[in-house]
Amino acid sequence: MARFRAAAVQSALWSEHKLPSGVVMRFSRSLSLLAAACVATLAGAREPDVRLPDIGSSAAGMVSPQDMYDYGAGALQEMRAYGMVLDDALLNDYINGLGYRLVANSDHPNLRFTFFIMNDAQINAFAMPGGFVAANAGLITAMRREDELAGVLAHEISHVEQQHILRAFEDTKKMSIPIMLAMLGVLVAAAGRNDDAAPAALAAGTSLMQQRQINFTRSEEAEADRFGIQILSRSGFDPNAMASAFQALQKVMRVNGVDIPEFLLDHPLDTKRIAEARDRAAQLGCPSEQRVRPMRPAPSAGGSLNLSLPSRQAETGAKDALDDADAVAASEAATTTIEKSSEDPGALPKVSVTACASRGPAVQGYFELMRERARVLSAPSQTTMRAYYANNLRDDPGFDTVANRYGYALALMRSSGAAAAVAELRKLVERQPNSAPLGLALAGALDLAGNKAESLKVYEGVHADFPGNRAVTMSYADGLLGQADEANARKALELLRPLVARYADDPDLQKSFGRANQLAGDKVRAAEAYAEAAWLTGHPEDALNQLKALSKQSDLTYYQRSRIDARITQLTPAVLALRKRYSPDSGDPKSMAPLACCEPPSLQIRVGPQ
């Protein structure tokens, strides 16, 4: 996590407190005494190793929760503009399901979080204001178990819930002013002297601010470890996983020599910290019972309403029943269940998060599929990835797993090897017919190989098994849009419309929704969706330009014009603020950049992983 740098604060304070050239020397003695008192007081202060949980500190009043969310959302949009975010529906659903399973068992389950994956091979994770938590693709590929990845996410969740970003800013403000006053006093007292008193005062003050920042960071990390381990245990994960994740990072550091993972640069790690993490885990012990409820069949009318992702319809035979259980366990890392008692119609529904409590082969297998997917989609060279899988599958029998075969097929699809990918994926789907990732990959490979009819048939079958799943629905809709005709576009619209209401901040979904409306003949809705995609991908002026051009059309209905004008009103202040930040001399609202992003595209449709 990025820290507020003391040097920047020091520079700002110097610029605001310039000494006049004719300072009267009779104040030097009193200022020197003040300097000595300030330095002695700060140096004698003891930083606690672990703070108590925040129960309403003054840091919470510095920035409103909405302002923090807006800041985090804006940062995410800018990172998308630079191509730094790995936007993939399967991976997004997985990381958010895993993250919210942890949040649901934290001390603040009602906080809003957004989990996303950075398109970066470096091993790192960080949290931003507003509950935005990022995990690099390199971190996911470095983890051996899902529990280890959960441990890192729990650590970052704790940083957010304990308000460490605001506390760091508040602590920097509190410590900087007295230290700077002390340094000023020493400089005044040393005026006219030829010794090293002034440089020594500067060095001492700077070192003291840096040391306090290090102490604060260590305290934050210890607190995040402690609360993160508690979250792990409550969520049904192995509480030792955080320590084992740290050890995995240390192993990477030893293998790479001087190349220290970025996570360790921002998260100081030593043997003591690992030992403390294991000690806390030993005190908690491994979960002895399921912390979450198992999946249940859909209830009859009048019973509880279950919104869990349904599995394939039960078939006869013990083998089919086992396959269904595995599919349910692997298809989603976490789902939401809402129950309402029929005996009391006025009672509020009880909301809980359910997930696979068993850390068995199905859960580990799904994690490994997502790990290899992240490895392939974040790789800079697909030819290199193709050779990586091919060589290891040829030389190492232990490498021949479903997950690695899946990764090999994805690499083939992304390097002009669709036909070979189809052959690989057919075998995998025969082994695991209820796996949504494998089914989607097969459908995408068939489409790339030119077999569009069979591709749509496979998409339809996977969607029938997993209705409502975002990744499945988006992939099926994109397959329909690939036909580039109005009938299939209208069918895609029926699939996408419910998703847009639930995932309005998904830029890929907005692009697909815009394409579907365009092919179906609704040009206004298409332009709105493309503008929204431009906004979400860090092109705010493009979004505003498109909406303004749309509002000038004379044939808009009352409701269309009202909707468009309302969105323009929302976006205009943000666009003006961004323009002022990057172009201080530009104050003319009409000086918009030409539209460069997210115009109605040609018939290039994303089908399957690309």
Mean pLDDT confidence for 515-533: 96
Pairing of strands 335-339, 132-136: unpaired
Q: At what angle do helices 164-189 and 6-16 cross, to 10 degrees?
A: 50
Among the listed ranges 280-289, 363-372, 442-451, which one has the minimum average pLDDT value?
280-289
- Looking at every residue in the chain, the average pLDDT score rounds to 73
Q: Which residue has the higher pLDDT, 160 or 486?
A: 486
Among the listed ranges 6-15, 103-112, 226-235, 488-497, which one has the minimum average pLDDT value?
6-15
Residue 83 reports pLDDT greater than 90: yes
How far apart, in Å, are the Cα atoms of 81 and each of 76, 77, 120, 486, 597? 9, 6, 15, 31, 10
d(CA 522, CA 275): 61
> What pLDDT shows up at residue 333?
37
> What pLDDT shows up at residue 221?
82
Residue of 322, 31, 354 lying closest to 189 (CA atoms): 31
Length of the chain: 610
604: Cβ contacts below 8 Å, ≥ 6 apart: none
Residue 292 reports pLDDT greater than 70: no
Domains and CATH numbers, the chain: 61-167+214-284 (no CATH), 293-313+322-354 (no CATH), 362-582 (1.25.40.10)
- Selecting among 147, 220, 225, 424, the annotated active-site residue is 225
How far apart, in Å, are the Cα atoms of 489 and each of 369, 370, 449, 463? 31, 30, 22, 17
Helix and strand totals (H; E) in the chain: 24, 5
Mean pLDDT confidence for 550-571: 95
> What pLDDT shows up at residue 15?
38
Cross-sheet strand order for the sheet of 125-128: 114-118, 132-136, 125-128
Q: In 48-149, which ranges are E strands?
A: 114-118, 125-128, 132-136
> What pLDDT shows up at residue 321?
43
Mean pLDDT confidence for 473-479: 97
429: Cβ contacts below 8 Å, ≥ 6 apart: 435, 438, 439, 442
Q: Which residue has the higher pLDDT, 258 or 452?
A: 452
> What pLDDT shows up at residue 354?
34
279: Cβ contacts below 8 Å, ≥ 6 apart: none
| 134 beta partners | 116, 126
Confidence of residue 266 (pLDDT cuts 50, 70, 90): low
Among the listed ranges 210-214, 308-312, 371-375, 563-567, which one has the minimum average pLDDT value?
308-312
The b-or-e profile of 89-102 (16+ CB within 10 A means b, else e) is bbbbbbbbbbbbbb
* CB neighbours of residue 497 within 10 Å: 13
For residue range 302-323, what is the model confidence (pLDDT) as tens digits? 333 333 344 444 344 444 444 4
d(CA 48, CA 370): 40
Q: Which residue has the higher pLDDT, 228 or 202?
A: 228
Mean pLDDT confidence for 190-204: 54
Residue 480 reports pLDDT greater than 70: yes
Q: At what angle do helices 197-234 and 271-284 cross, to 10 degrees?
A: 30
- Selecting among 156, 238, 465, 506, the annotated active-site residue is 156
Q: Residue 225 catalytic?
A: yes
> What pLDDT shows up at residue 284?
66
* Conformation bin of residue 484: beta by default, left when phi > 0, alpha when psi is -120 to 50: left
Residue 464 reports pLDDT greater than 70: yes
Residue 247 reports pLDDT greater than 80: no
Question: What are residue 472's phi and psi, to 5 degrees?
Answer: -65, -45
Residue 442 reports pLDDT greater than 90: yes
> What pLDDT shows up at residue 224?
83
For residue range 143-172, what is the model confidence (pLDDT) as tens digits? 999 999 999 999 999 988 887 676 665 555
Q: Residue 16 catalytic?
A: no
* Single pTM value for the model: 0.69
How far apart, in Å, are the Cα atoms of 131 and each of 108, 114, 161? 12, 6, 8
Percent of the chain with pLDDT over 70: 58
Amino acid at 169: F
* CB neighbours of residue 217 within 10 Å: 17
The b-or-e profile of 521-530 (16+ CB within 10 A means b, else e) is ebebbbbbbb
